[in-house]
């Protein structure tokens, strides 16, 4: 009998139930979309703000030491101390290794000068000659430059990373150098290089030209890059260039293992926005609190783990990038929660209005059931069952529509990720959304149900007579 009354209420009051269902549907659609976006917005914002550069920088700890005599800084320009490229493999062993999305080591090679070649020996003469720093070369128009070794499309575990991935705002004409390239255009030891746009303009070089340094180095220009910073004045070459000129035995095999030095490393990692707890010195915390700090993906905790993993390394967060990412994430998350709360509140008011009208129309039915002996609890259970069934149906549909809306919004807001809408079906959200729909339906129905139960059956039946 109970289920018959339940089904009859849906059949006879289809319009009222539809209005209440649409209100719940719209509310749960908005909530699902916001929750689905919230689960991925951290990664999306991290990708969008990658144009600001890495959020963690690693360099030799000894570079922090100042060596001064009589107020004169005697420390070499390069710092004289380097990290080892082989130690970067240890980044894969830290607790938050899976949060690392990009790695770009650099080796700054200074103390060189470039001078235009005045020889006219033919098409295979280099346009520019590269000399080690010699003050006497200034009289021939030479000027000092810095060459920087980078990774280009370098495999690093599951990542393919390097300078182009870490600096997406760089504008390239031509192509990036190919790592571990043996084939050379102009010589057996030639390396593929990229010139900064200002340097290429100053020297009058173009893609296809080459630079020579006697028998020690030759560089084929395969690209010209514009960065808007000091890199426009530099030469970019593959960090593994030394591999090409390493000593080999009579069988052509390399003698020993090349240990490449690196001056600094830029690391990009997904992090949790910084709060007061993130700024605490972990060594001053009790063991339990230190473990909590260590297991949170703060930029500071990831930097701390990098310092533990790589000997002689100093890792610090780049506050400009990290704080920008955290502030944007906090504001967007706050807006999402505000929209969700407003959608649920509006749905609750709509359900309350629909249920109040439905119960008003069913006063006679309520009075008759009460006069026939039905208890207040049984009548309340009937109306709550109607609201619950309506919430289950509308909430499930709202979950599906909200997932589609999240995919559409993600494709429009974060068009840089590819622009195409991808499905955002997150199964764990289904019970959460249905539970919220039940709360809204029950909360919206309760005032009307309580009002109906306070009415006397005789007064209801007398009024309808």
Place of tokens 């069934």: 389
In a domain, 317, yes or no: no
169 and 145 part of one domain: yes
Q: Do the domain assignments include residue 384? A: yes
Same domain for 38 and 134, yes or no, is no
Instruction: Write down the pLDDT at residue 308.
Output: 92
Asked if residue 390 is part of any domain, the answer here is yes
Asked if 194 contacts 174 with a C-beta cutoff of 8 angstroms, the reply is: yes
Rounded to two decimals, what is the model's pTM? Answer: 0.63
Query: Which letter does DSSP use for residue 168 in this model?
Result: T
Same-domain pairing of 390 and 327: yes
Q: Return the pLDDT at 463.
A: 58
Residues 18 and 110 in one domain: no
Same structural domain, 38 and 64: no
pLDDT at 118: 60
Burial 156-193 (b: 16+ CB within 10 A, else e): beeeebbbbbbbeebeeebebbebebeebebbebbbbb
Which stretch of DSSP H or E encloses residue 331?
A: helix 319-361
Whether residues 128 and 249 share a domain: the answer is yes
Q: Please identify, among 226, 249, 265, the residue that sits at the C-terminal boundary of a domain.
A: 265
What confidence score (pLDDT) does residue 109 get?
81
Does 188 share its domain with 210? yes
Whether 65 and 34 share a structural domain: no
Q: Which two tokens stand for residue 212?
A: 């020579």
- Does the residue 459 lie in any domain? yes
The string of DSSP letters for 203-264 reads HT--TT-EEEETBTEEEEEEEEEE-SSGGGGSEEEETTHHHHTS-B-TTSPBSS----EESE
Termini Cα distance of the chain:
26
Residue 310 in any domain: the answer is no
Same structural domain, 201 and 337? no
Query: In this predicted structure, what is the pLDDT of residue 119?
Result: 58
* Pairing mode, strands 190-196 and 217-226: parallel
Q: 235 is in which domain, residue-wise?
A: 59-265
Dihedral (C-alpha) 166, 167, 169, 173: value to the nearest 10 degrees? -110
Please tell me whether residues 69 and 32 are part of one structural domain: no
The closest of 106, 89, 242 to 166, measured between CA atoms, is 106
122 & 161 share domain: yes
Please indicate, yes or no, whether residues 83 and 145 belong to a single structural domain of this protein: yes
Q: How many separate domains does the chain show? A: 2
> What is residue 321's predicted lDDT score, i.e. its pLDDT?
58
- pLDDT value of position 90: 92
pLDDT score, position 76 = 46
User: Tell me, what's the pLDDT at 246?
Assistant: 46
339, 342, 340, 332: which is closest to 413 by C-alpha? 332
pLDDT along the chain (465 residues), means of 10: 63 72 84 78 61 80 53 45 88 91 88 65 57 62 82 89 88 87 55 90 85 68 91 88 51 56 88 81 90 90 92 82 62 77 81 75 71 75 82 88 83 57 70 88 81 69 58
């Amino acid at each position: 009998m109970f289920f018959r009354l339940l089904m009859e209420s849906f059949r006879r009051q289809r319009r009222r139930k539809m209005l209440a269902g649409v209100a719940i549907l719209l509310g749960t659609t908005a909530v699902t979309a916001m929750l689905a976006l919230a689960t991925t917005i951290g990664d999306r914002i991290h990708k969008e703000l990658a144009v600001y550069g890495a959020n963690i920088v690693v360099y030799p700890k000894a570079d922090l030491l100042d060596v001064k005599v009589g107020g004169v800084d005697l420390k070499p320009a390069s710092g004289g101390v380097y990290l080892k490229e082989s130690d970067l493999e240890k980044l894969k062993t830290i607790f938050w290794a899976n949060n690392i999305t990009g790695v770009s080591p650099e080796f700054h090679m200074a103390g060189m000068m470039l001078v235009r070649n005045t020889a006219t020996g033919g098409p295979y003469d280099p346009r520019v000659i590269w000399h080690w720093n010699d003050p006497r070369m200034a009289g021939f128009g030479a000027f000092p430059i810095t060459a920087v070794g980078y990774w280009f499309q370098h495999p690093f575990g599951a990542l393919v990373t390097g300078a182009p991935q870490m600096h997406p705002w760089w504008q390239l004409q031509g192509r990036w150098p190919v790592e571990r390239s043996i084939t050379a255009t102009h010589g057996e030891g030639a390396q593929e290089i990229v010139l900064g746009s200002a340097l290429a303009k100053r020297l009058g070089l173009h893609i296809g030209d080459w630079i020579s340094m006697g028998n020690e180095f030759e560089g084929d220009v395969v690209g010209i890059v514009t960065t808007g910073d000091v890199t426009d004045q530099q030469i970019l070459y593959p960090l593994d260039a030394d591999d090409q000129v390493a000593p080999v035995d009579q069988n052509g095999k390399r003698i020993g293992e090349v240990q490449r030095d690196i001056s600094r490393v830029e690391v990009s990692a997904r992090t949790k926005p910084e709060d007061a707890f993130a700024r605490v010195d972990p060594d001053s915390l009790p063991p339990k609190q230190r473990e909590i700090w260590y297991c949170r993906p703060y930029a500071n905790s990831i930097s701390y783990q990098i310092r533990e993993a790589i000997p002689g390394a100093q890792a610090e967060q780049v506050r400009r990038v990290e704080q920008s990412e955290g502030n944007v994430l906090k504001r967007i998350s706050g807006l999402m929660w505000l929209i969700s709360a407003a959608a649920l509140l509006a749905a609750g008011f709509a359900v309350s209005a629909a249920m109040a009208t439905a119960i008003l129309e069913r006063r006679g039915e309520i009075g008759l059931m009460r006069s026939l002996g039905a208890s207040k609890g049984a009548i309340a259970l009937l109306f709550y069952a109607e609201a619950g069934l309506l919430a289950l149906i509308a909430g499930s549909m709202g979950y599906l529509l909200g997932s589609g809306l999240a995919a559409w919004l993600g494709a429009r807001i974060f068009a840089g990720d590819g622009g195409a809408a991808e499905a955002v079906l997150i199964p764990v959200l289904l019970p959460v959304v249905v539970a919220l729909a039940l709360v809204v339906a029950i909360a919206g129905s309760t005032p009307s149900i309580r009002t109906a139960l306070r009415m006397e059956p005789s007064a209801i039946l007398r009024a309808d007579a």
